[in-house]
């Protein structure tokens, strides 16, 4: 998969989503608590205000009882403009039994309060909204003490501001924590991903090397331990194949040497002439044996060398393809097959000889399985990040499901019929692809087969 | 020519010595790496043939020490480690050529021949004359019995390589290496097709062929004009 970076990758990350979700839940809870607190506070404040208004009204009644209407009027005039302990301006009104105004801040008794008592809300003709208490004194004046609702609303707005500030702070904190924790966790996971990608590309020496005793630290430690184990196994295979190489090649070399020596003696001895055909066959068989053995060893050692950067250089696939086409052109032409070469410069990091061998094996197969007179396409394509070698024939193709087994040793498709081969060609192609961190795909081309080897473009 | 063979496997050492004796070379065999280094440095040799995995001292260490001592005798490494990477490694450490075991006799002899030829004072004469075939190396032209033979660049390289080993069989692998710079065996005999085209051109109008095919392994440019 292509590594993703930037904000989009950050947003797609599960870690960031998880942290964001937790932050969102906390924030919602905070808002819920805020709303509840506000509602309770509003009711409470309103009741407290009305309580003080009632006290005020009771005070005015006491004044009237002691000093009569004149004292009440003086008291109302004196208290005009005063604010209570809650800081709200009080509005008062006293009217006589006939409804005439005795004193107060309102022009007249509000019409809609006729008959009302206790706690009320009303609007005056000039549009002001008020809340207050009504006290009707039996045999005396009616009293009204109120405050403007707008003032209560202002108190609530102040409360809202007080509640909103910590909410904003909490939101900022949640965002900051999401970003910080997300980034930090993401970086640690991305480190493991990066190593996995490098290993996939063939660098078996890559390690996460992350400290920490938490689950991410343990993940990194486990990945490293796993890679170490793979490296040990690979070294074992390498070592073993080296030993097999030496232990088996020596007797094979002797076998061949002795057969060739026997043949030379037979050639020089007229009496031994009848042995010559048998000796020729024996030499040919030993050559065959050696070539199969060498191919197997080459596959094993090439696989074992995967991830080893030694001996790698920048190689242009276009040159490789051109060289291989040059080599095979004459042989193809003898069967009327045309090799159509189409290349662009495609630099990859690799072992030139192995890449040549890979291309040669693919072209060899394509020519071998093409009907006489057909065209074999040999193409090299490149994008900014990738290079591709594409070989397409117009032969019988491969049977369904063969793609999965194609790169195993000694695998041959049923469609090849009597065409000679050991079934090691594609296995070696697979090993060379592995050594170069290349992906190889067999695609049905109808008619024929398209083999695509894709590798990373070398940065120059 | 005097050739030192450093090889711990007695059968292979004897075999190589016998092959070299067949070409009128005098071969001395040594089984130990350290002893091989001592002999290689102490006496004048025309060629040193060495194994890699040797008792005493590794074959490539022998080469490296020799080069450090400014001994420039050509060295052919014959080793069971035959991957392209092994070969590159061998050449980097001072070997002149590298042959994977097991080898075909003709291939071994062709490489010995090529190294000996290269170390002679005039390694690349301007004109190669083999029988009635005349090859002008710089002009890149070929004449047979004074008749011009037009060849493609690759066919010219093929003929030139055969001419440098005239009278001896040149294995396909050596032709692949010298002409196409390839060090592996393509499954199809692509070389045969190129040689048969070369043969078609150079033998056109002549009763006899100048290129002979060896039993399954390679080709020879015959020296006797007939």
Cβ–Cβ pairs < 8 A, chains A and B? 111
- Answer yes or no: is A244 within a domain: yes
Residue A380 placed within a domain? yes
Highest mean pLDDT, choosing among A107-116, A156-165, A394-403, B2-11: B2-11
Question: What residues of chain A lie within 8 A of the CB of B157, using their CB?
Answer: none
Asked whether the beta carbons of residue A260 and residue B104 sit closer than 8 angstroms, the reply is yes
Same-domain pairing of A173 and A227: no
Residues A275, B32 contacting (CB under 8 angstroms) = no
CB contact under 8 A, A311 and B190: no
Instruction: Say whether both A239 and A336 belong to one domain.
Output: no
Chain B, residues 8-37, CB within 8 A of chain A, namely 9, 11-12, 15, 18, 22
Give the CATH number, domain containing residue A297.
Answer: 1.10.287
- Greatest extent of chain B over all pairs of C-alpha atoms, in Å: 59
Question: How far apart (Å, rounded) are the C-alpha atoms in residues A359 and A215?
Answer: 45
The verdict on residue A208 lying in a domain is no
Class of domain B127-221: mainly alpha
Residue A149's contacts (CB-CB under 8 Å, 6 or more residues apart) are: A121, A129, A130, A131
The reply to whether A206 falls in a domain is no
Question: Do A23 and A158 sit in the same domain of this protein?
Answer: yes
- Whether A152 has a pLDDT exceeding 70, the answer reads yes
Which residues of chain B have a CB within 8 Å of the CB of A435? none
Whether pLDDT at A283 is above 80: yes
Query: Do residue A299 and residue A319 come from a single domain?
Result: no
CA distance B221 to chain A (A): 20
As a whole number of angstroms, the distance between CA B160 and CA B221 comes to 10
Per-residue model confidence (pLDDT) at position A417: 61
pLDDT, residue A280, reads: 86
A207 occurs within a structural domain: no
CB contact B103 to A (< 8 Å): yes
In the listed set A200, A230, A256, which residue is the last one of a domain according to the structure? A200
Confidence of residue B75 (pLDDT cuts 50, 70, 90): very high
Provide the pLDDT for residue B123.
54
What is the pLDDT, as a whole number, of residue A411?
74
Range of the domain at A147: 1-200
Write the residue in B18, B102, B180 that is nearest to A261 by C-beta: B18
- Contact A353/B182, CB-based, under 8 Å? yes
Please tell me which residue, A112 or A191, carries the higher pLDDT value.
Answer: A191
- As for how many domains chain A has, the answer is 3
Structural class in CATH, domain B2-119:
alpha beta
Measured between beta carbons, the chain B residues lying within 8 angstroms of A261 are 15, 18
Average pLDDT score over residue span A88-98:
79
Residues A245, A267, single domain; the answer is: yes
How many percent of chain B have pLDDT more than 70?
96
CB distance A207 to A34 below 8 Å: no
Phi-psi domain of B205 (left: phi exceeds 0; alpha: psi -120 through 50; beta: other) = left
At A346-402, the pLDDT tens digits run: 999 998 888 999 999 999 989 988 999 999 999 999 999 999 999 999 988 888 777
If pLDDT is split at 50, 70 and 90, which confidence band does A35 have?
A: confident
Q: Tell me which chain B residues have a C-beta less than 8 angstroms from the C-beta of A328.
A: 186, 188, 190
pLDDT surpasses 90 at A234: no
Residues A336 and A236 in one domain: no
Question: For the residues of A377-394, what is the DSSP string, one character each?
Answer: EEEEEE-SSEEEEEEE--
Q: Band of the pLDDT at B226, cuts 50, 70, 90? A: very low
Residue among B22, B62, B161, B98 nearest A257 (CA):
B22
Task: Find, in chain B, the residue whose alpha carbon is nearest to that of A276.
Answer: B215
- Cα dihedral across residues B208, B214, B219, B224: positive or negative: negative
Q: Are residues A246 and A363 in the same domain?
A: no
**The predicted structure's pLDDT at residue A328:** 92
User: Residue B1: its pLDDT value, please?
Assistant: 85
Beta bridge partners of B34: none
Task: Name the residue in chain A with its Cα closest to that of B182.
Answer: A353
Same-domain pairing of A267 and A340: no
Please report whether residue A209 resides in a domain. no
- pLDDT band at residue B74 using 50, 70 and 90 as cut-offs: very high
Q: Chain A residues with CB inside 8 Å of B180's CB?
A: 323, 326-327
Q: Which ranges in chain B are annotated with CATH 3.40.50.2300?
A: 2-119
Q: CA-based angle A319:A322:A327, to the nearest 5?
A: 125
Residue A360: inside a domain, yes or no?
yes
Bridge partners (DSSP) listed for residue A79: none
Average pLDDT, whole number, for chain A?
83
Instruction: Kindly identify which residue of chain B lies nearest to residue A424, measuring between CA atoms.
Output: B187
Nearest chain B CA: its distance from A306 CA (Å): 12
Query: In the predicted model, what is the mean pLDDT of residues A286-306?
Result: 81
Q: Are A417 and A370 in contact (CB under 8 A)?
A: no
List the single residue in A with minimal CA-CA distance to B192: A331
Is the domain of A291 the same as that of A359? no
Backbone Cα Rg of chain A? 47
Residue A176 and residue A279 in one domain: no
Q: Is the CB of A280 less than 8 angstroms away from the CB of B215? A: yes
How many CB atoms within 10 Å of residue B53? Answer: 16
Give the Å distances, CA to CA, from B38 to B6, B32, B43.
11, 10, 9
Between A88 and A261, residue with greater pLDDT: A261
- Measured in angstroms, the CA of A353 and the nearest CA of chain B are apart by 7
Whether residue A33 is predicted with pLDDT greater than 90 in this model: the reply is no
The beta-carbon neighbor of B101 closest among A249, A356, A421 is A249
Q: What is the ipTM of this complex?
A: 0.77
Residues A273 and A357 in one domain: no
CA A50 – CA A119 distance, rounded (Å): 7
- B182 to A290: CB separation less than 8 angstroms, yes or no: no
Mean pLDDT of chain B: 87
In a domain, A205, yes or no: no
Say which residue, A224 or A4, is predicted with more confidence: A224
Whether residue B85 has pLDDT greater than 80: no
Residues of chain B with CATH 1.10.10.10: 127-221
Residues A73 and A38 in one domain: yes
Of A143-152, A209-218, A258-267, the range with the highest mean pLDDT is A258-267
Spatial contact of A185 and A216, defined as CB atoms under 8 Å apart: yes
Q: In whole angstroms, what is the distance from residue B178 CA to residue B161 CA?
A: 7
B179 pLDDT above the threshold of 50: yes
Q: Is B182 an 8 Å CB contact of chain A?
A: yes
With a pLDDT cut of 90, the percent of chain A lying above it is 16
Residue A89 DSSP class? B
Of B53, B184, B217, which has the smallest distance from its Cβ to A353's Cβ? B184
pLDDT of residue A112: 62
**Cβ density class A36-56: b for 16+ within 10 Å, e for less:** eeeeebbeebbeebbebbbeb
pLDDT of residue A1: 41
Q: What is the CATH number of the domain that holds A400?
A: 3.30.565.10
Q: Residue A3: pLDDT above 50?
A: no
- For residue A99, how many C-alpha atoms fall within 13 Å in the half-sphere facing its CB? 7
Query: Average pLDDT for residues A411-421, to the nearest whole number?
Result: 66
CA distances from A187 to A19, A177, A221, B25, B132 (A): 15, 15, 16, 68, 76
């Amino acid at each position: 998969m292509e590594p993703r970076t930037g904000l989009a990758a950050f947003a797609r990350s599960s870690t960031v989503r998880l942290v964001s979700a937790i932050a969102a839940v906390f924030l919602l809870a905070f808002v819920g608590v805020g709303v509840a607190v506000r509602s309770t506070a509003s009711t409470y404040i309103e009741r407290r205000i009305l309580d003080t208004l009632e006290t005020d009204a009771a005070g005015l009644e006491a004044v009237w009882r002691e000093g009569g209407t004149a004292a009440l009027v003086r008291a109302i005039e004196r208290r005009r403009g005063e604010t209570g302990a809650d800081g709200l301006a009080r509005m008062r009104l006293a009217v006589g039994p006939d409804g005439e105004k005795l004193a107060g801040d309102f022009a007249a008794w509000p019409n809609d309060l006729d008959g009302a008592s206790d706690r009320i809300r009303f609007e005056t003709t000039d549009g002001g909204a008020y809340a207050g208490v009504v006290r009707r004194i039996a045999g005396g004046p009616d009293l009204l003490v109120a405050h403007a609702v707008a003032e209560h609303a202002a108190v609530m707005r102040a409360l809202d501001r007080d509640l909103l500030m910590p909410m904003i702070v909490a939101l900022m904190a949640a965002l900051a924590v999401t970003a910080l924790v997300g980034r930090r966790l993401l970086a640690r996971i991305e480190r493991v991903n990066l190593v996995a990608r490098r290993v996939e590309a063939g660098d078996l020496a890559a390690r996460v090397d992350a400290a920490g005793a938490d689950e991410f630290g343990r993940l990194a430690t486990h990945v490293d331990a796993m890679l170490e184990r793979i490296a040990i196994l690979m070294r074992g295979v390498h070592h073993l194949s080296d030993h097999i190489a030496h232990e088996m090649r020596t007797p094979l070399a002797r076998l061949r040497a002795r057969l060739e020596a026997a043949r030379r003696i037979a050639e020089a001895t007229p009496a031994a002439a009848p042995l010559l055909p048998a000796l020729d066959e024996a030499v040919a068989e030993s050559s065959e044996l050696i070539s199969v053995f060498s191919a197997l060893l080459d596959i094993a050692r090439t696989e074992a060398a995967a991830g080893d950067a030694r001996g790698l250089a920048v190689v242009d696939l276009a040159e490789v393809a051109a060289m291989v086409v040059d080599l095979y052109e004459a042989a193809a032409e003898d069967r009327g097959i045309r090799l159509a070469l189409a290349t662009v410069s495609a630099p990859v990091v690799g072992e030139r000889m192995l890449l040549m061998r890979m291309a040669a094996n693919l072209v060899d197969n394509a020519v071998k399985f093409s009907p006489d007179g057909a065209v074999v396409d040999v193409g090299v394509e490149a994008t900014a990040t990738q290079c591709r070698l594409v070989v397409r024939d117009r032969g019988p193709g491969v049977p369904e499901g063969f793609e999965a087994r194609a790169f195993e040793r000694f695998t041959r498709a049923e469609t090849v019929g009597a065409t000679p081969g050991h079934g090691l060609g594609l296995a070696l192609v697979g090993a060379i692809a592995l050594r170069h961190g290349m992906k190889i795909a067999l695609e049905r081309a109808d008619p024929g087969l398209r083999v695509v080897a894709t590798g990373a473009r070398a940065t120059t | 020519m005097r050739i030192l063979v450093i090889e711990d496997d007695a059968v292979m050492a004897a075999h190589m010595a016998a092959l070299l004796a067949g070409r009128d070379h005098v071969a001395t065999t040594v089984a130990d790496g350290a002893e091989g280094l001592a002999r290689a440095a102490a006496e004048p040799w025309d060629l040193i043939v060495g194994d890699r995995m040797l008792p005493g001292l590794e074959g490539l260490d022998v080469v490296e020490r020799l080069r450090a001592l400014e001994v420039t005798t050509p060295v052919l490494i014959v080793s069971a480690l035959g991957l392209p990477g092994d070969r590159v490694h061998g050449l980097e450490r001072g070997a002149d050529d590298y042959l994977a075991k097991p080898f075909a006799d003709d291939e071994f002899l062709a490489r010995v021949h090529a190294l000996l030829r290269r170390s002679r004072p005039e390694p690349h004469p301007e004109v190669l004359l083999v029988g009635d075939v005349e090859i002008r190396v710089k002009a890149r032209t070929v004449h047979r019995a004074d008749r011009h033979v037009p060849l493609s660049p690759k066919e010219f390289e093929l003929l030139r390589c055969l001419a440098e080993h005239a009278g001896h069989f040149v294995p396909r692998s050596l032709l692949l290496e010298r002409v196409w710079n390839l060090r592996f065996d393509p499954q199809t005999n692509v070389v045969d097709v190129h040689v048969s085209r070369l043969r078609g051109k150079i033998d056109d109008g002549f009763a006899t062929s100048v290129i002979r095919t060896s039993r399954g392994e390679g080709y020879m440019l015959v020296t006797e004009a007939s």
